[in-house]
Chain A
Amino acid sequence: MIIALPTKESGEKAFVSENLGRANYFYLYDTKTKEGKSFKNNFLNELHGAGVKTAEFLLKYSTDILITPRIGEKALEILLETDINIYKSTEKIARENINDFLNDNLEKLY
């Protein structure tokens, strides 16, 4: 299972970003290998459609779970057509949000 979060900095100790499409980084964690990796958001400065490009990115990396404080209308429209489940992040670092999700302590948004 791949878990994705928008983060302010790179790495698992980074705080979750306040925005999804305009996050600085995305942290992707694989529960099988127990390894995570940060990706720079290449669409951060797009004038249009940063959210939809983020949705495209999440699909490209076979994301199963998205943990985010909020999600834009367009990205949501795309992700609702997929099997990705979306959970609400808390103001903790990425790693703790992942643990909270794995322990069933996060609220499911969609």
Chain B
Amino acid sequence: MQIAILSGKGGAGKTLVAVNLVNLINLSTYIDCDVEEPNGKLYFSSEYNKKDINVLVPKINYKKCTHCNKCVDFCRYNALIDFLGKVKLLPSLCHSCGGCKLVCEFDAITEVKEPIGYIYQGDYKYHQIYGGELKIGKESGIEIISQLISKADKEKINIIDCPPGNGCSVMESIEQADYCILVSEPTIFGLENLKLVHELTTLYNKNIGLIINKANDYNNIIEDFAKTKDISIIGYIPFDKELAKLNSNQQLVSDNNKFKPYFIKIIEQIKQEVDL
């Protein structure tokens, strides 16, 4: 079982929801797919094991290359260019599709490993904690996310903490999800970002639930949209200074009796949608 937590914008409360659900669901696994800014592990004191992640990039054998430029023309990411009569690779643009090697008729392209980051694994109580980090300057963390998702234990509940937005890295994160939780906040900005991410989960035909975080007197901004799109609201987390303070001090707010009920209620709602 994979439950993905996503939102159109950063700071909406994905990680807040994800880590606290993990905290309250027995034996659940936390997978932080926000490999550009991973911060979920801050909530879980643990020793972490690291494993490097590589992608394959082309290497050109200039003795064999005839400068036919077939690879240059083929590369839709423009990672190969004709540089003064020589094929030049721009590794930061390469998406590791391997197409250039296939179109080369002169066997002049081989693929070599290029490190792009690492994944880490740790334990917290009875939970497995996974995350990854993309190296600074690298453009795509898709391979790291794909490796992280492969760690999901089919027998257990896996909470996937997605990157913000609705781009490729979010798509990779939710692809295998059985249920998606959209986290939003009651502002116009929050609504616009919710619309984008809702469009994505609709495209992927996902079963979804919505959480309004920082709930206040303006919840109707989000509630009205949920009504028109027939999205079930599975919980509210209040706009509360004490909660914000605990959370920003790396505390799991679901360990606090004042805030635990909000997350228990969310879990009960999820249980009505999927088997936990």
Contacts and interface: CB of A to CB of B under 8 A. Distances in A.
A52 B84 contact: no
B102 interface: no
A56 interface: yes
B88 A46 contact: no
Interface string A49-66: 110110110011000000
A101 interface: no
Contact of A48 (B83, B84, B88, B93): B93
Contacts of B92: 74
Nearest to B90: A52
B78 A55 contact: no
Name the prevailing secondary structure of the A interface residues.
helix
B41 to A, nearest CB: 30
A48 B77 contact: yes
Interface string B62-93: 00000000000000111101111000101011
A23 to B, nearest CB: 16
Given A74-B90, A74-B93, A53 B83 contact: no
A82 interface: yes
Contact of B81 (A46, A47, A53): A53
Contacts of A1: none
Contacts of B81: 52-53, 55-56, 78
Interface residues of A, number: 17
B78 A59 contact: no
Interface residues of B, number: 12
Contact of B88 (A43, A60, A78): A78
A78 B83 CA distance: 8
B134 to A, nearest CB: 17
B78 A52 contact: yes
Nearest to A74: B90
Contacts of B76: 47-48
Contacts of A52: 78, 81, 90, 93
Contacts of B88: 78
Interface centre among A46, A47, A48 (most CB of B within 10 A): A48
Contact of B83 (A43, A49, A56): A56
Contact of B82 (A60, A74, A82): A60
Contacts of B79: 48-49
B83 A59 contact: yes
A49 B84 CA distance: 18
A43 B92 CA distance: 18
Nearest to B88: A78
B82 A49 contact: no
Nearest to B95: A48
A91 B84 CA distance: 31
Interface in A19-59: 43, 46-50, 52-53, 55-56, 59
A59 B84 contact: yes
A83 B81 CA distance: 17
Interface string B132-149: 000000000000000000
B78 A48 contact: yes
A105 to B, nearest CB: 30
Interface of B: 76-79, 81-84, 88, 90, 92-93
6 contacts: A43-B78, A49-B79, A49-B93, A53-B78, A56-B83, A78-B81
